[in-house]
Chain A
Amino acid sequence: MSALTAVVSANGLIVAFLAVGLLLWLSYFMSAQITGGRIHGSAIAILLGLLAAYWAGRATGGSRGLADISLLAGIGLMGGGMLRDFAIVSTAFGVHPSELRKAGLAGSLSIVVGVLVSFVLGAAVAVAFGYRDAESITTIGAGAVTYIVGPVTGTAIGASSEVLALSVTTGVVKSILVMVFTPLLARRIGLNNPQAAMVFGGLMGTTSGVAGGLAATDPRLVPYGAMTATFYTGAGCLLAPSVLYLLVRALT
């Protein structure tokens, strides 16, 4: 037993490849046998991954899902920012820049609209829950933008740590909702072409949510959605602690 543990802990990333491979096999099997192919295997795999992360979070009390289980620590590396970004960039291989230019205006506009709408809704909920100081309202609004914009903004304007945690949680909930609901709603919102994918990436903005949601919908849309989503967090970090904070302060 100790020999097996030694092998597993010395080969974390390899164990992760095996574990994710098995999970995908199970998901594609379920997709074909249970749903008759109606729900795509990758959508089921992402859902099972989220369920496993929930279970692991409950079991370990950690914040990194399955990666907090020592035998599966390699999943943290495989699903971490480095390999995720590497894989996202690789999807741009063979994409023609003219496709991007076609949706250039709509794509750029969607980033600004996405940041503003998310912020306003998040801030309104904060007010509805009784927050009255501009720092807390701005930080929670920024959390509804993404879970990176929230803490960056909160730290910059000096929000309390309780509000910071709340804004991170808001962003995490958003990213998970986008992962789960994108494949279900894709058809209804016309998300089946590069231009719509760019708009979608700009409106949602959460890189992990958009990456997961488009993977489960149609992987060929990934480069377009990822392209705008990657500028969204930057736009949020630019607007929230400056213009939007001043605006909230003027209103409170």
Chain B
Amino acid sequence: MIIYGVALLSACLLAGQFAGELLGQWLGVQANVGGVGIAMLLLMLACQSERCNALIAGPAGRGIHFWSAMYIPIVVAMAATQNVAAAVDGGLLAILAAVLAVIAGFALVPLLSRIGKPGEALPPASDHDAS
């Protein structure tokens, strides 16, 4: 049943967000701390576990695959709802601060990636939609 996979995904997201809220409260921060990341870890653990096999095998897994294939369209919709006009009008201060932060971020990626074992490049993708 496809809904089993979707339900598992939902359970992971809700549990992760809840844990993130609690973590935020516990740290005294007015924000959700890592809720989505915790949800991703829960989904990975569920995929490893024998007990959850019925929730991810066969058609149930397609329920999760559907949403990961919808990822790009959802991100495109997200891009289309950003406040781009305000960003363009942001004035020199906002634009300069952001540009510097982004340049520094890009410059540091190769530097920090060297820590630990260097990653191996993924094989070329045959079709992005497949993933």
Contacts and interface: CB of A to CB of B under 8 A. Distances in A.
Contacts of B125: 218, 220
Contacts of B58: none
Main secondary structure, interface of A, reads helix
B81 A66 contact: yes
A136 to B, nearest CB: 11
Nearest to B118: A195
A156 interface: yes
Given A20-B76, A189-B110, A230-B34, A93 B86 contact: no
A102 B74 CA distance: 29
A17 B77 CA distance: 9
Contact of B76 (A23, A102, A200, A221): A23
Contacts of B48: 97
Contacts of A117: 101, 104-105, 108
B121 A193 contact: yes
Nearest to A177: B102
A76 to B, nearest CB: 6
Contact of A199 (B29, B33, B112, B122): B112
A233 B71 CA distance: 21
Nearest to B27: A238
B80 A92 contact: no
B87 to A, nearest CB: 5
B83 A195 contact: no
A175 interface: yes
Nearest to B115: A106
B95 interface: yes
Interface in B1-25: 9-10, 12-13, 16-17, 20, 23-24
A159 B103 CA distance: 27
Main secondary structure, interface of B, reads helix
Contacts of B54: none
A57 B86 CA distance: 8
B82 A42 contact: no
B36 A97 contact: no
Nearest to A125: B97
B110 A53 contact: no
B44 A218 contact: no
A95 B95 CA distance: 36
B68 interface: yes
19 contacts: A45-B76, A75-B80, A79-B76, A80-B78, A83-B74, A88-B71, A90-B67, A91-B40, A91-B71, A117-B101, A122-B100, A148-B31, A174-B102, A175-B82, A178-B102, A193-B121, A202-B112, A230-B35, A238-B33
Interface of A: 16-17, 20-21, 23-24, 40-42, 45-46, 49-54, 56-58, 63-67, 75-76, 78-80, 83-97, 100, 102-106, 109-110, 113-114, 117-118, 121-122, 124-126, 129, 140, 143-145, 148-149, 152, 155-156, 166, 169-179, 181, 185, 189-196, 199-200, 202-204, 207-208, 211-212, 215, 218-223, 226-228, 230-231, 233-235, 237-238
